[in-house]
Amino acid sequence: MLGSHSQRQDLHIDPSLPPQPPRDATDHHLHHHPHHHRQQMDIRQLLSCCAQQISRSDFSAAHRLISFLSANSSPTGDSTDRLVHYFTNALALRLHHHHLRHHPPPLLTDSCNDYFTYVDRYDDAILQKSYLSLNQITPFVRFSHLTANQAILEAIDPVHHPKHIHILDFDIMHGVQWPPLMQAIAERYPTPTPTLRITSTGTDLDNLRRTGDRLSNFAHSLNLNFRFHPLVVPNEDNVDDIIYRLSAVILLPNEILAVNCVLYLHRLLKDRESFLLLLRKIKTMNPKVVTLAEKEANYNNPLFLSRFSEAVNYYTAVFDSLEATLPPNSRERMEVEQVWFGREIADVVAAEGEKRRERHERFRSWEVVMRSAGFSNFPVSGFAVAQAKLLLRLHYPSEGYSLQVLNDCFFLGWQNQPLFSVSAWH
């Protein structure tokens, strides 16, 4: 039972997030009516048809379909309505970019005009707020954090009362991953507790310092010796710059190093050779464990239609999972879909070449690249599996979520669609 002080008790699953009420029976029946299901399939087929027309440069036909799809989808409808809405906007954005390059002004409907600056219009504060909502209403971030933290704890476990623990965290965001780990360390080791250092990369020094202050205050409440070191990387998509900045990371003698890469490394796959150099650089730092969490999707395909089809399948599962676990009028869900998932969809569908950031690959690709850099799998424990299953049962009570463990890797999925993978390496 989590919350007890058994030998294998490591991380606490926060029970403060109440299960969301299920959708009422009439709403559920409506969404599964055969005629309604047929309409959903038809409109998704039109979405794919529109992508094919853009791929064939039949822009007039694509424009007409975008107008129809815009009028027949909504960010406030059911999961299919919302899915089609965001993919239609992304296709409109792609078409807009083409016309700007070749035939200005663009030939598009007014309903899409407010979407043209979609990728850039949200400031950092809105994105950070959306990230916190994503962390609350879906298991995706929590699952990744919990599983990675458990691997870190188990990596340092064989060491008898370590004096120094150092975590190198790529893109710390709000730092929400670390309080549970800090609490586990404070409870596990008697006084004096180990010194925990976190070095984190980020593009904004002020944001990093605010995150460090929050973590320092929490560590102080636990009487945990804690140090935070910001590592500013102006361009986090530039592998060479990251490698250069890592030279400033100081490793102390007898310090156990863990490297945390949660939902980050996919951005660096533009240049695979440089990326491999980064992994080898990390390997030379002799980490006890490297944690890796990524989407189980392939958006790194240079072919537009392949990425489009992959994204539709992936986000169909994501939007269906939100439909099943959140009430229809959830503001948090609408915000996350618009700010977070909408931006991702726009990037996968509308951006090309160097401009595209969402370059996810499936675990089998990560497995190959990690092994080629000299890493091997860190074994999965039975306790980590039980803990991940408990997280899904407590906070996201739906039979749709699934957990699989293959080749020492955790896979979180919805129905038959794997969505995220979390693995550990040494």
Q: Which pLDDT score is estimated for 35?
A: 52
**Rounded mean pLDDT of 171-191?**
92
Place of tokens 């039979």: 399
pLDDT class of 298 with cuts at 50, 70, 90: very high
Q: Say whether pLDDT at 166 is over 90.
A: yes
Please tell me the predicted confidence (pLDDT) of residue 13: 61
Lowest mean pLDDT among 58-62, 63-67, 93-97, 384-388: 93-97
Of all residues in the chain, the percent with pLDDT exceeding 90 is 71
Q: What does the mean pLDDT of the chain come to?
A: 86
Residue 300 has pLDDT above 70, yes or no: yes
**Domain ranges for the chain:** 33-116+302-355, 139-296+365-425
Please give the CATH architecture assigned to the domain spanning 139-296+365-425: 3-Layer(aba) Sandwich (3.40)
Longest Cα–Cα distance in the chain = 71
What's the token pair of residue 213?
């202050």
Return the pLDDT at 83.
96
> What CA–CA distance (Å, rounded) separates 370 from 419?
20
Q: How many residues does the chain have?
A: 426
Whole-angstrom distance, CA of residue 103 vs CA of residue 117: 19
pLDDT at 105: 44
Q: How confident is the model at residue 355, as a pLDDT?
A: 86
Query: Which ranges in 21-78 belong to alpha helices (H)?
Result: 25-31, 34-55, 59-71
Q: How many CB atoms are located within 10 Å of the residue 327 CB?
A: 13
- Provide the pLDDT confidence category of residue 159 given band limits of 50, 70 and 90: confident
Residue 119 pLDDT greater than 60, yes or no = no
Whole-angstrom Cα distance, residue 155 to residue 171? 21
Give the angle 390-421-41 at the CA atoms, nearest 5°. Answer: 95
pLDDT digits (tens, 9 = 90+) for 29-51: 334 444 555 566 688 899 999 99
CA atoms within 13 A on the CB side of 290: 26
Per-residue pLDDT band for 185 (boundaries 50, 70, 90) equals very high
Residue 354 pLDDT > 70, yes or no?
Answer: yes
Residue 28 confidence class, pLDDT cut points 50, 70, 90: very low
What CA–CA distances, in Å, run from 315 to 80, 190, 252, 363, 413? Answer: 10, 46, 44, 18, 12
Confidence of residue 118 (pLDDT cuts 50, 70, 90): very low
Which residues on adjacent β-strands are paired with residue 228? 198
